Structure 1
Amino acid sequence: MAQPAFEDIAETFAFLDDWEDRYRHLIEIGREMPALPDALKVPATKVEGCASQVWLMPRIEGQGADARFDFAGESDAMIVRGLIAVLHALYSGLPVGEVEKVDAQAELARLGLDEHLSAQRSNGLRAMVARLRASAAAA
């Protein structure tokens, strides 16, 4: 079961018939993401494999079995920033051990993103998911 914030996005996408409207919504939720401080836009947080500039800063809140996964992120491309917001809704607040169990491809397919993103954006999205999963696994 996806996080409630992701379910809200999925419901909105299901309601919007036109992909132009869905892209507008994606951009809108990306704009709502807090900006990543410039001090965190460094090579260590940059995601390779993305055509756009993408930075993800994972953080673990709590310790042991109570540890929860979260991250901040930003991109110089508005649609990609929206994709970061979607991933944030999918992963934020999960127990760290649950992050790897999320079938991101299946969840994102519910939004139809797999059919409507360019090959470069799809590759970048996979790179972002891989980075988040690796960060949670390392915690």
Structure 2
Amino acid sequence: MSLPVQAQEALASFELARGWEQRARLLMQWGDRLEPLSEAEKVEANRVHGCESLVWLVAEHVDGLWQFKASSDARLLRGLLALLLVRVQGLTREALAGLDLREWFTQLGLERQLSPSRSNGLHAVLLRMAELASNR
């Protein structure tokens, strides 16, 4: 399966990073790129449960493909969300359901940084994406 352009960019930038400090800096930079959510979007209906931090997810179905926006109160998690979003933007419902999250973060060299709670939180976000997609 081919990667979206932004996902390829993410992969290229993380492949160049040496060590956790550089990856952490990159993660923060990717998090800063997230499109901010409006206060109207930061409502309980858009909250993702199963995350220790506050996470909001907004989905839009455009021409049969999914576009997502997400945000969190935690800076590191915003970076992880940004990397998740570049991987899933424009996928079909089927492709979304079949995505291997661990493989994606392993490719980025971030799997060791995913504590069980962060990993569970990201899986909760992915499950919510699939849930939103299946309701359409």
Q: TM-score scaled by structure 1?
A: 0.89
Aligned length: 135
Matched, 1:15 2:41: no
Runs of 4+ in structure 1 deviating by more than 6 angstroms, as ranges, are: none
Verify: 1:28 aligned to 2:29, yes or no: yes
Contact 1:46 1:56 in 2 (8 A): yes
Q: Deviations over 1:102-137 (max 9, x none)?
A: 222212221132211222211111111111122122
Q: Deviations over 1:29-67 (max 9, x none)?
A: 1111111011111111111111111000111112xxxx1
CA contact (8 A) 2:55 2:72 kept: yes
Residue 125 (structure 2) aligns with: 128
| 47-56 vs 127-136, greater mean Cα deviation | 127-136
**2:134 corresponds to 1:137:** yes
Q: Which residue is equivalent to 2:71? A: 74
Unaligned runs of 5+ in 1: none
Identity %: 33
Contact 1:53/1:77 (8 A) holds in 2: yes
Given that residues 56 and 71 in structure 2 are in contact (C-alpha distance below 8 angstroms), is that contact kept between their aligned partners in structure 1? yes
Report what 1:49 is aligned to: 50
Residues 60 and 96, structure 1, Cα contact 8 Å, conserved in 2: no
- Aligned-residue Cα RMSD (Å) equals 1.3
In 2, the alpha carbon distance for the partners of 1:117 and 1:103 equals 14
Describe the superposition over 1:63-112 as per-residue Cα deviations: whole angstroms up to 9, x where unpaired.
Answer: xxxx1101111101111111111111001112333221222221222113
TM-score if structure 2 supplies the norm length? 0.91
